[in-house]
A and B are shown apart, each in its own frame.
Chain A
Amino acid sequence: MSAPTAAARPVRVRRSTRRRAGTALRYGLLLLVAAISIGPFLWQLSTALKGLGEDIYAVPPRFLPAEPTGGNFLRVGEVLPVWTYVWNSVRVALATVLLNVVGAALAGYALARLRFRGRRAALGVFVLALLVPGEAIMVALFLMMRSVNLHDTLVAVVLPGMIGALNVLLMYNAFLAQPRELDEAAMIDGADAWKRFTRIALPSVKGTLAVVAIFAFMGAWDDFLWPLIVLSDTDNYTLTIGLNYLKGTFVGDQRLIAAGTVIAVAPLVVLFLALQRYFFRGVNEGAVKG
């Protein structure tokens, strides 16, 4: 062996074992964090699938149900109108999505693309609204809903979140990023603001619209504090309030609570898996820019 290779080889060997050890460590950590992230969900799912005959308090805990059954999903519908709650949540979430998408797109377009006096004042209103946390105005909002007799209705659940200021600013940013020339060319061709909005501007901000829609859906579906304050009749409950109620009423049966939470989280998991790229959109945009 000549001197140079003898010197080079140990270094390379050390490098590659170190790299392999690094990869092993990396995947070990990844698996550990994955177990922590997903474990509690799986434990809940497992409990929901355990039949009445199975001891859910067994020590040591059994992760796999001995005889998986869907019976708890039917039973939870018998003790509580869970499907009514699902339907209420669906209506609230869909209304919130529709109002946010339409309202934020219209306002964002006007702020970014139309010229008029008072534009900066309007922009200021949205920035100010962004600074007011919902928790700090919930008392006044409740009194307001009471005064117009809307308390204890799903309309009152939707109204405060109908058009988020953040969504308006997101759409504003998206429209600002469009090349101005397109708009000007259309203006010269005689297209009015509405036509330019629907034909030219909207099609190119579909990604941001999807982000607004998804997060509006998630926010409405997951919301707890405001519906808890404004709803009192159990028939009007949304799913999150219903689940809390379920816990209070049937503390004994953990299987039913587990089944309820599975029902609540399943639609979002499906939505998330189907539309993942929009959840991670910021990440990918960063990659393009960098």
Chain B
Amino acid sequence: MAGTLAPRRRTAARPARGPAARRRAPRMQAAPTPWLFLLPALAACLLFSLYPFANTVLLAFTDARTLEPGSFTGTDNFTRMAEDHRFWLALRNGALYVLGVVPPLVLLPLLLALLVRDRGPGIGLFRTLFYTPVIASAVVVGLIWTWVLDSRGLVNGTLQALGAITRPIPFLTDEWLLLASAMVVTVWKGLGYYMVIYLATLNRVPQELHEAAQVDGAGAVRRFLVVTLPAMRTTMILISVLSAVSAFRVFTEIFILSNDTAGPGGRDITLVMLIREVSSGLDGQVGYGAALSLVLFGLTLGLLLAVLRLQTGRRGSR
């Protein structure tokens, strides 16, 4: 996609018919029209994305409250952050989340894509089934899994019936198990989404490469390692960054699974949860919330820039 975003240059110059005509040059023909076309979308992006972002930057250096504009306090919010143990907890949980969620979201969807790539009886149905968790909202998915992982839910009930456990496993009430459960939910919900991205890339691997490797006597595993994996490299990088960025912004899964808290003792808090918590209410510390938002933005942007660089690097090497 990045390649097609490059603007097209006009090559054919129009014959000039004197200075006056040239000033009303054809490239400007019907000048207001393009801007009328652009107006709604441009206004939306400026008003509801870039302007609030600029405001976030300004607010981050103030002690503003929801109902008071506050005053400039320099980097106070950021020094406060360094001493806020919940901020460090949120960073820790975000980092753990990225580490726990990214590897399975890079590998498992690729395996799924390989399973449903070739046409066969029922394959279309399997694709559909694998994609279903993607369309459900995170809230619905969170509620479904809350019930599955409940102390008297499906998993604990089954394990108890099998005699594997005597007491229910506290999936939703233990600091670490809750975090792990939320990761499972995130992976479960993301599998189908990334599978589709892999499928699109798999379809572009030239069949001849596989055939050539087969002629050379390479088995299925070897063909996967030698032909498929290298062809998937860019997509794998893209998916690891996409999933890492969204993993750092996790909110709903933990919020719902922990029953609107941040886990036992608030120890499963994430950055987004913290931002919402400190800024909400009529006396919300929106200045501090904005400073936290800037940190969130910086972390996600860093990852996005990394992927852009990798993308252009790939184009350059071809």
Using a CB–CB cutoff of 8 Å, the interface residues on chain A facing chain B are 22, 26-27, 29-30, 33-34, 36-38, 40-41, 43-44, 47, 57-61, 99, 102-104, 106-107, 109-111, 114-117, 119-120, 122-123, 125-129, 131-133, 135-144, 146, 159-160, 162-163, 165, 168-169, 172-173, 176-177, 192-194, 197, 218, 221-225, 228-229, 240, 243-244, 247-248, 254, 257-258, 260-261, 264-265, 268-269, 271-273, 276, 279-280, 282-283, 285-287, 289-290
Contacts and interface: CB of A to CB of B under 8 A. Distances in A.
The B contact surface, by secondary structure, is helix
Given A40-B145, A240-B137, A265-B136, A133 B296 contact: yes
B192 interface: yes
B251 A247 contact: no
Given A41-B132, A286-B201, A135 B45 contact: no
Contact of A163 (B40, B137, B200, B294): B40
A107 B203 contact: no
Contacts, number: 303
Given A138-B275, A144-B55, 19 more contacts: A22-B220, A37-B191, A43-B148, A110-B33, A115-B26, A122-B42, A127-B5, A140-B59, A146-B66, A228-B276, A243-B143, A244-B139, A272-B132, A279-B131, A282-B200, A283-B196, A283-B199, A289-B204, A290-B204
B286 A272 contact: no
Nearest to B143: A261
B7 interface: yes
B147 A257 contact: yes
Given A99-B40, A129-B50, A272-B131, A114 B33 contact: yes
A275 to B, nearest CB: 11
A116 B49 contact: no
Nearest to B252: A224
B44 A103 contact: yes
Chain B residues touching A, range? 35 or more
Interface stretch (B73-81, B97-105, B121-129, B310-318): B121-129
